[in-house]
Protein backbone atom coordinates (compact mmCIF):
# COMPACT_ATOMS: atom_id res chain seq x y z
CA UNK A 1 0.00 0.00 0.00
CA UNK A 2 0.90 3.65 -0.08
CA UNK A 3 3.46 4.76 2.46
CA UNK A 4 5.19 7.93 3.65
CA UNK A 5 8.37 7.71 5.69
CA UNK A 6 9.56 10.67 7.73
CA UNK A 7 12.91 11.36 9.38
CA UNK A 8 14.12 12.17 11.92
CA UNK A 9 11.54 11.35 14.58
CA UNK A 10 13.05 13.94 16.92
CA UNK A 11 15.24 16.94 16.21
CA UNK A 12 16.82 19.42 18.57
CA UNK A 13 18.43 22.60 17.28
CA UNK A 14 19.78 25.77 18.82
CA UNK A 15 17.76 28.90 18.34
CA UNK A 16 18.81 30.58 15.13
CA UNK A 17 20.02 27.39 13.48
CA UNK A 18 18.28 25.66 10.59
CA UNK A 19 16.17 22.51 10.76
CA UNK A 20 15.54 20.02 7.98
CA UNK A 21 12.93 17.26 7.97
CA UNK A 22 12.79 14.71 5.18
CA UNK A 23 10.03 12.51 3.80
CA UNK A 24 9.86 9.85 1.13
CA UNK A 25 6.72 8.55 -0.53
CA UNK A 26 5.85 5.41 -2.43
CA UNK A 27 3.15 6.48 -4.90
CA UNK A 28 5.04 7.91 -7.87
CA UNK A 29 1.89 9.65 -9.10
CA UNK A 30 1.30 11.59 -5.86
CA UNK A 31 0.94 15.24 -6.78
CA UNK A 32 0.34 17.20 -3.60
CA UNK A 33 2.59 17.37 -0.53
CA UNK A 34 1.48 19.40 2.49
CA UNK A 35 3.27 19.96 5.77
CA UNK A 36 1.36 20.33 9.02
CA UNK A 37 2.51 21.73 12.35
CA UNK A 38 0.95 20.47 15.55
CA UNK A 39 1.69 22.33 18.74
CA UNK A 40 1.21 20.51 22.01
CA UNK A 41 -2.47 19.81 22.62
CA UNK A 42 -3.60 21.61 19.50
CA UNK A 43 -4.93 20.64 16.10
CA UNK A 44 -2.59 20.17 13.11
CA UNK A 45 -2.39 23.24 10.90
CA UNK A 46 -1.06 23.58 7.38
CA UNK A 47 2.15 25.59 7.22
CA UNK A 48 3.22 25.07 3.62
CA UNK A 49 2.45 22.80 0.70
CA UNK A 50 3.88 22.01 -2.70
CA UNK A 51 2.41 20.56 -5.86
CA UNK A 52 4.19 18.24 -8.21
CA UNK A 53 4.66 20.83 -10.94
CA UNK A 54 7.20 22.83 -8.91
CA UNK A 55 10.46 21.90 -7.23
CA UNK A 56 10.63 24.43 -4.43
CA UNK A 57 8.38 26.81 -2.55
CA UNK A 58 9.26 29.38 0.10
CA UNK A 59 7.25 31.27 2.66
CA UNK A 60 9.39 33.52 4.84
CA UNK A 61 11.51 31.23 7.06
CA UNK A 62 10.10 27.97 5.77
CA UNK A 63 10.64 26.25 2.46
CA UNK A 64 9.79 22.91 0.93
CA UNK A 65 11.70 21.13 -1.82
CA UNK A 66 10.44 18.26 -3.96
CA UNK A 67 12.44 15.71 -5.90
CA UNK A 68 9.94 13.70 -7.95
CA UNK A 69 12.55 11.40 -9.41
CA UNK A 70 13.73 10.31 -5.99
CA UNK A 71 10.23 10.57 -4.51
CA UNK A 72 11.26 12.68 -1.59
CA UNK A 73 10.46 16.10 -0.24
CA UNK A 74 11.90 18.14 2.59
CA UNK A 75 10.91 20.92 4.96
CA UNK A 76 13.51 23.57 5.72
CA UNK A 77 13.13 26.01 8.59
CA UNK A 78 15.75 28.75 8.84
CA UNK A 79 16.55 31.03 11.79
CA UNK A 80 14.58 28.78 14.12
CA UNK A 81 12.75 30.30 17.06
CA UNK A 82 11.36 28.70 20.26
CA UNK A 83 7.82 29.01 18.88
CA UNK A 84 8.83 26.67 16.05
CA UNK A 85 8.92 23.86 18.62
CA UNK A 86 6.15 21.43 17.66
CA UNK A 87 5.51 18.17 15.88
CA UNK A 88 5.70 18.44 12.11
CA UNK A 89 3.91 16.01 9.78
CA UNK A 90 4.47 15.56 6.08
CA UNK A 91 1.79 14.04 3.86
CA UNK A 92 1.30 12.89 0.29
CA UNK A 93 -1.87 12.72 -1.71
CA UNK A 94 -2.94 9.44 -3.24
CA UNK A 95 -3.46 9.57 -6.98
CA UNK A 96 -7.02 9.96 -8.13
CA UNK A 97 -8.35 10.48 -4.64
CA UNK A 98 -8.57 13.12 -1.95
CA UNK A 99 -6.87 10.71 0.41
CA UNK A 100 -3.69 11.70 2.24
CA UNK A 101 -1.12 9.50 3.89
CA UNK A 102 0.80 11.14 6.71
CA UNK A 103 4.31 10.57 7.90
CA UNK A 104 4.89 9.55 11.51
CA UNK A 105 5.91 13.04 12.58
CA UNK A 106 9.05 14.87 13.72
CA UNK A 107 9.21 16.42 17.17
CA UNK A 108 11.25 19.60 16.78
CA UNK A 109 12.71 21.28 19.83
CA UNK A 110 14.30 24.68 19.47
CA UNK A 111 16.62 25.34 22.38
CA UNK A 112 16.92 28.93 23.56
CA UNK B 1 -19.15 28.14 11.82
CA UNK B 2 -15.58 29.29 11.57
CA UNK B 3 -13.95 25.90 11.51
CA UNK B 4 -14.34 22.16 11.85
CA UNK B 5 -16.18 21.33 15.04
CA UNK B 6 -15.90 18.03 16.89
CA UNK B 7 -17.83 16.73 19.85
CA UNK B 8 -17.37 15.67 22.48
CA UNK B 9 -13.90 17.05 23.14
CA UNK B 10 -13.31 14.32 25.71
CA UNK B 11 -14.96 10.96 26.17
CA UNK B 12 -14.24 8.45 28.89
CA UNK B 13 -15.92 5.08 28.50
CA UNK B 14 -15.73 1.58 29.86
CA UNK B 15 -14.36 -1.30 27.86
CA UNK B 16 -17.12 -2.95 25.85
CA UNK B 17 -19.30 0.15 25.52
CA UNK B 18 -20.15 1.80 22.21
CA UNK B 19 -19.17 5.41 21.51
CA UNK B 20 -20.20 7.90 18.86
CA UNK B 21 -18.04 10.81 17.83
CA UNK B 22 -19.35 13.74 15.83
CA UNK B 23 -17.80 16.04 13.26
CA UNK B 24 -19.26 19.20 11.72
CA UNK B 25 -17.17 20.17 8.70
CA UNK B 26 -16.78 23.63 7.24
CA UNK B 27 -19.77 24.50 5.10
CA UNK B 28 -19.13 23.80 1.43
CA UNK B 29 -16.31 21.36 2.05
CA UNK B 30 -17.01 18.26 0.03
CA UNK B 31 -14.34 16.02 1.52
CA UNK B 32 -14.31 14.83 5.12
CA UNK B 33 -11.69 12.70 6.81
CA UNK B 34 -11.27 10.81 10.04
CA UNK B 35 -7.80 10.19 11.45
CA UNK B 36 -6.67 8.52 14.65
CA UNK B 37 -3.69 9.77 16.64
CA UNK B 38 -2.39 7.61 19.43
CA UNK B 39 -0.26 9.27 22.09
CA UNK B 40 3.01 10.39 20.57
CA UNK B 41 2.19 8.81 17.23
CA UNK B 42 1.40 10.02 13.74
CA UNK B 43 -1.92 10.48 12.01
CA UNK B 44 -3.49 7.16 11.06
CA UNK B 45 -6.00 7.38 8.21
CA UNK B 46 -9.36 5.80 9.01
CA UNK B 47 -11.94 6.83 6.42
CA UNK B 48 -12.82 9.62 4.05
CA UNK B 49 -15.96 10.84 2.34
CA UNK B 50 -16.03 12.75 -0.93
CA UNK B 51 -19.35 14.25 -1.89
CA UNK B 52 -21.87 11.56 -2.75
CA UNK B 53 -19.26 9.00 -3.73
CA UNK B 54 -18.82 5.77 -1.82
CA UNK B 55 -16.54 6.38 1.18
CA UNK B 56 -13.02 5.03 1.29
CA UNK B 57 -13.08 2.80 4.37
CA UNK B 58 -9.70 1.20 3.77
CA UNK B 59 -8.19 2.56 6.98
CA UNK B 60 -10.78 1.30 9.43
CA UNK B 61 -8.89 -1.08 11.76
CA UNK B 62 -11.73 -3.52 12.42
CA UNK B 63 -15.45 -4.06 11.84
CA UNK B 64 -16.09 -2.44 15.21
CA UNK B 65 -15.43 0.89 13.51
CA UNK B 66 -17.94 2.53 11.20
CA UNK B 67 -18.70 6.01 9.99
CA UNK B 68 -21.51 7.78 8.27
CA UNK B 69 -21.97 11.12 6.59
CA UNK B 70 -25.18 12.68 5.42
CA UNK B 71 -24.56 14.46 2.13
CA UNK B 72 -21.88 17.09 2.68
CA UNK B 73 -22.70 17.74 6.31
CA UNK B 74 -22.21 16.08 9.66
CA UNK B 75 -20.31 12.84 10.07
CA UNK B 76 -20.36 10.38 12.93
CA UNK B 77 -17.68 7.83 13.76
CA UNK B 78 -18.97 4.91 15.79
CA UNK B 79 -16.80 2.48 17.70
CA UNK B 80 -18.61 -0.58 19.01
CA UNK B 81 -17.47 -2.71 21.94
CA UNK B 82 -14.57 -0.37 22.68
CA UNK B 83 -11.20 -1.80 23.66
CA UNK B 84 -8.39 -0.15 25.57
CA UNK B 85 -6.29 0.05 22.39
CA UNK B 86 -8.97 2.33 20.92
CA UNK B 87 -7.82 5.06 23.31
CA UNK B 88 -6.55 7.92 21.16
CA UNK B 89 -7.40 11.33 19.79
CA UNK B 90 -9.81 11.07 16.87
CA UNK B 91 -9.32 13.93 14.47
CA UNK B 92 -11.75 15.02 11.80
CA UNK B 93 -10.73 17.20 8.87
CA UNK B 94 -12.50 18.67 5.87
CA UNK B 95 -11.32 20.21 2.62
CA UNK B 96 -12.91 22.23 -0.15
CA UNK B 97 -13.55 20.96 -3.67
CA UNK B 98 -10.44 20.60 -5.76
CA UNK B 99 -9.55 23.25 -8.31
CA UNK B 100 -8.03 21.10 -10.99
CA UNK B 101 -5.29 19.51 -8.95
CA UNK B 102 -6.24 16.74 -6.63
CA UNK B 103 -5.11 17.87 -3.25
CA UNK B 104 -6.33 20.67 -1.09
CA UNK B 105 -5.60 22.02 2.34
CA UNK B 106 -7.07 20.04 5.22
CA UNK B 107 -8.77 21.91 8.01
CA UNK B 108 -8.64 19.90 11.21
CA UNK B 109 -10.97 19.91 14.14
CA UNK B 110 -9.66 19.94 17.70
CA UNK B 111 -10.27 16.24 18.05
CA UNK B 112 -12.02 13.97 20.51
CA UNK B 113 -9.82 12.47 23.21
CA UNK B 114 -11.20 8.97 23.78
CA UNK B 115 -10.16 7.09 26.87
CA UNK B 116 -11.28 3.49 27.30
CA UNK B 117 -10.92 2.23 30.84
B56: alpha, beta or left, given left = phi > 0 and alpha = psi -120 to 50?
Answer: beta
User: pLDDT at position B66, please?
Assistant: 97
Local confidence band at B70 (pLDDT 50, 70, 90 cut-offs) = confident
On whether any CB of chain B is under 8 Å from the CB of A102, the answer is yes
Please state whether the peptide bond connecting residue B83 to the residue before it is cis, i.e. omega within 30 degrees of 0: no
Query: What is the signed CA dihedral for B19, B13, A39, B5, rounded to 10 degrees?
Result: 40
Whether B2 has a pLDDT exceeding 80, the answer reads no
Local confidence band at B39 (pLDDT 50, 70, 90 cut-offs) = confident
Residue B114 and residue B11 in contact, taking contact as beta carbons nearer than 8 Å: yes
Instruction: Return the SS3 of A82.
Output: helix
Is A103 close to B42, i.e. CB distance below 8 A? yes
Contacts of B106 in chain A (CB under 8 A): 34, 36, 44, 46, 100
Mean of pLDDT values over B52-79: 92
Whether B92 has a pLDDT exceeding 60, the answer reads yes
pLDDT per residue over A14-35, tens digit each? 999 999 999 999 988 888 899 9
Is B105 close to A49, i.e. CB distance below 8 A? yes
pLDDT per residue over A73-103, tens digit each? 999 999 999 999 999 999 998 777 777 889 9
User: pLDDT at position A19, please?
Assistant: 98
Cα–Cα distance, B87 to A41 (Å, whole number): 16
Amino acid sequence: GENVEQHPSTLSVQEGDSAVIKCTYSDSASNYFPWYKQELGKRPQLIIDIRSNVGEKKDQRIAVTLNKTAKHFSLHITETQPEDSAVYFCAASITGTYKYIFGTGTRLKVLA
Amino acid sequence: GAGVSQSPSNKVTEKGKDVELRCDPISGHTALYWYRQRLGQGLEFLIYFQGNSAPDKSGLPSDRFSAERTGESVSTLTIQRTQQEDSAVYLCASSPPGTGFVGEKLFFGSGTQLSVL
